[in-house]
């Protein structure tokens, strides 16, 4: 079984070498051939804006598996995050992280006798992480947020399947559907729809800000939480703080064809090359990889040895009992290797299992798939939202727009600024910037389609800069657009 290997930047090569040495000691490398691929800072430095070579892409796609260390994203020059890029291009749609109290890792919760043990499943490729951004006017930029029904279905189904596999009886959906009623609303709606396929699992939903408060106050009330991408990213890091930090947070990015296992902490350039980095996150991520491919026995031996080591005070300098010596990266894994075959005594050990490799390298699809949740329904054009760069006030703008649309099939319904209605009604206390939404609805009795909205745009564009527009449609009689604040 071949696995693509990207050591990473900063402390990446050190913790990767240590992890591979520990895996070899456990006998796990006998079934695996690691193939090193070029990714990360040195690729960006050579002008590879993707942060990886074509050869690396081909190798990962041939293997179907990637184990990677932490990687640096350039802060300028246009290169996007390599971590986000690899998840998106290979459709690793579900990010799975397991947060739990570990022996020897002191936190306010462990000191209080509170045991933390829950999973977060984060949608991994949609939401604001599309990175679709534009400057719309002198003062305004935007980032588009995209949530799809097929993307939501995929991550929800993965969450329920994982809960069923590991024996979790309750799954929460975290969201902000009270504000983002259409995007998060769709995510929550699809959670409930998929949940119906798993009647043995209890479900609940929680608004994400309340979720963050609850996790800090009483984390033991959760066992699995599924969230959209941005919220999942933030809540995952909050959850890592409950168990000692990102150095103890394993991460798996699961796709239908390609899956990525990685340490999600930073590259720590200040300690790179000193041999003192904590390898626990990458070790735990490698254990997740082993379970993913069916090497359950090796995973159990490694995990029990790590838990026994932590329980006995084996530590690096960033955690643990200061009265016990801090070990370097390689000495730490050597101590773990000595305990292969041992089990922790104060906490439950991982059950023994057998290695039965189930993973098969993917067959490359002929083309990218088009996925759908809903079949074609009845849609009807009812208007258009036109977004304008204009310096005048809302009343002057409204007067000119009304003149421009005289004799058309549309009338000006409202003007909003930063989402808040300012015309025909609004408050003088609402500050307005130079970017406006003008909503036009069809005149009663008029028959309109997209060509009529394009004619409308041409009239307006003769006088104003039209930054963008959105077609207003109904879907099976339901509006496919939101109201303005204050409407």
Q: Are residues 269 and 405 in the same domain?
A: no
Q: Looking at residue 454, which CATH number applies to its domain?
A: 3.30.70.1570
> Is 349 part of a structural domain of the chain?
no
Q: Are residues 211 and 74 in the same domain?
A: yes
Single out the residue in 338, 363, 395 at which a domain terminates: 338
For β-strands 410-417 and 420-423, DSSP reports them as antiparallel
Single out the residue in 318, 338, 358 at which a domain terminates: 338
Over range 335-343, report the average pLDDT. 97
Binned at pLDDT 50, 70 and 90, residue 48 comes out as: confident
pLDDT tens for each residue of 289-336: 999 999 999 999 999 999 999 999 999 999 999 999 999 999 999 999
pLDDT of residue 233: 96
Q: Are residues 287 and 165 in the same domain?
A: yes
Binned at pLDDT 50, 70 and 90, residue 77 comes out as: low
Over range 104-121, report the average pLDDT. 95
Q: Looking at residue 236, which CATH number applies to its domain?
A: 3.40.718.10
Q: Are residues 115 and 24 in the same domain?
A: yes
pLDDT of residue 81: 84
> Is 118 part of a structural domain of the chain?
yes
pLDDT of residue 79: 64
The token pair that represents 225 in the structure block: 């939480």
pLDDT tens for each residue of 259-283: 999 999 999 999 999 999 999 999 9
Domain around 433: 379-479
pLDDT at 454 over 80: yes
pLDDT at 194 over 70: yes
Please tell me the pTM assigned to this model: 0.94
Q: Are residues 470 and 327 in the same domain?
A: no
pLDDT tens for each residue of 370-379: 999 998 889 9
> Is 247 part of a structural domain of the chain?
yes
pLDDT at 89 over 80: yes
pLDDT at 189 over 90: yes
Higher pLDDT, residue 300 or 129:
300
> Is 356 part of a structural domain of the chain?
no
Q: How many domains in the chain?
A: 2
Q: Are residues 278 and 412 in the same domain?
A: no
pLDDT at 190 over 70: yes
> Is 362 part of a structural domain of the chain?
no
> Is 364 part of a structural domain of the chain?
no
Over range 219-228, report the average pLDDT. 97
pLDDT of residue 76: 59
Q: Are residues 178 and 288 in the same domain?
A: yes
Binned at pLDDT 50, 70 and 90, residue 29 comes out as: confident
> Is 371 part of a structural domain of the chain?
no
pLDDT of residue 486: 82
Over range 178-207, report the average pLDDT. 97
- Rounded to the nearest integer, the mean pLDDT of the chain is 95
Q: Are residues 399 and 324 in the same domain?
A: no
Q: Are residues 128 and 257 in the same domain?
A: yes
Which CA distances in Å does 212 have to 105, 119, 216, 226?
22, 14, 6, 13
pLDDT of residue 78: 57
pLDDT of residue 307: 98
Torsion of CA 35, 36, 37, 43, to 10 degrees: 180
Q: Are residues 328 and 384 in the same domain?
A: no
Single out the residue in 282, 305, 338 at which a domain terminates: 338
Q: Are residues 79 and 144 in the same domain?
A: yes
Binned at pLDDT 50, 70 and 90, residue 35 comes out as: very high
Q: Are residues 307 and 385 in the same domain?
A: no
> Is 485 part of a structural domain of the chain?
no
Over range 76-86, report the average pLDDT. 77
pLDDT tens for each residue of 396-412: 999 999 999 999 999 99
């Amino acid at each position: 079984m071949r696995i693509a290997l990207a050591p990473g930047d900063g402390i990446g090569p050190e913790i990767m070498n240590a992890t591979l040495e520990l895996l070899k000691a456990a006998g796990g490398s006998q079934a695996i051939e690691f193939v090193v691929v070029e990714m990360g800072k040195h690729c960006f430095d050579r002008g590879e804006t993707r942060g990886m070579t074509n050869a690396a892409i081909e190798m990962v796609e041939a293997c179907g598996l990637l184990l990677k260390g932490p990687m640096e994203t350039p802060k300028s020059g246009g290169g996007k995050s390599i971590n986000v890029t690899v998840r998106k291009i290979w459709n690793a749609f579900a990010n799975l992280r397991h947060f739990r109290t570990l022996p020897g890792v002191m936190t306010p919760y462990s000191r209080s006798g509170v045991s933390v043990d829950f999973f977060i499943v984060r949608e991994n490729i949609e939401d604001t992480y599309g990175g679709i951004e534009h400057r719309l006017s002198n003062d305004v930029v935007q980032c588009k947020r995209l949530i799809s029904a097929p993307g939501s279905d995929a991550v929800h189904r993965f969450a329920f399947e994982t809960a069923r596999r590991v024996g979790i009886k309750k799954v929460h959906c975290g969201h902000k559907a009270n504000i983002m009623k259409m995007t998060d609303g769709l995510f929550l709606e699809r959670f409930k729809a998929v949940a119906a396929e798993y009647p043995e699992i209890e479900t609940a939903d929680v608004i994400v800000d309340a979720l963050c408060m609850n996790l800090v106050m009483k984390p033991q009330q959760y066992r699995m939480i599924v969230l959209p991408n941005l919220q999942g990213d933030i809540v995952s890091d909050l959850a890592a703080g409950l168990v000692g930090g990102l150095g103890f947070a394993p991460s798996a990015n699961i796709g239908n064809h390609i899956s990525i296992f990685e340490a999600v902490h930073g590259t720590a350039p200040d300690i790179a090359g000193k041999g003192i980095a904590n390898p626990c996150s990458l070790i735990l991520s490698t254990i997740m990889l082993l379970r993913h491919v069916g090497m359950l026995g090796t995973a159990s031996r490694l995990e029990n040895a790590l838990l026994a080591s932590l329980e006995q005070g084996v530590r690096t300098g960033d955690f643990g009992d200061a009265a016990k010596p801090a070990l370097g990266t390689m000495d730490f894994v050597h101590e773990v290797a000595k305990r292969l075959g041992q089990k922790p005594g104060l906490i439950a050990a991982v059950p023994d299992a057998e290695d039965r490799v189930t993973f098969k390298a993917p067959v490359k699809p002929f083309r990218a798939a088009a996925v759908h949740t809903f079949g074609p329904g009845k849609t009807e054009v009812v208007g258009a939202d036109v977004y304008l760069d204009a310096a005048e006030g809302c009343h002057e703008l409204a007067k000119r727009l009304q003149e421009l649309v005289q004799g058309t099939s549309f009338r000006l319904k409202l003007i909003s600024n930063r989402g808040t209605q300012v015309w025909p009604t609004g408050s003088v206390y609402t500050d307005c910037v130079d970017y406006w939404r003008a909503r036009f609805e069809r005149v009663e009795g008029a028959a309109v389609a997209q060509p009529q909205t394009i004619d409308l745009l041409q009239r307006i564009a003769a006088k104003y800069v039209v930054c963008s527009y959105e077609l207003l449609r109904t879907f099976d009689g339901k509006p496919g657009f939101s109201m303005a604040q204050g409407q």
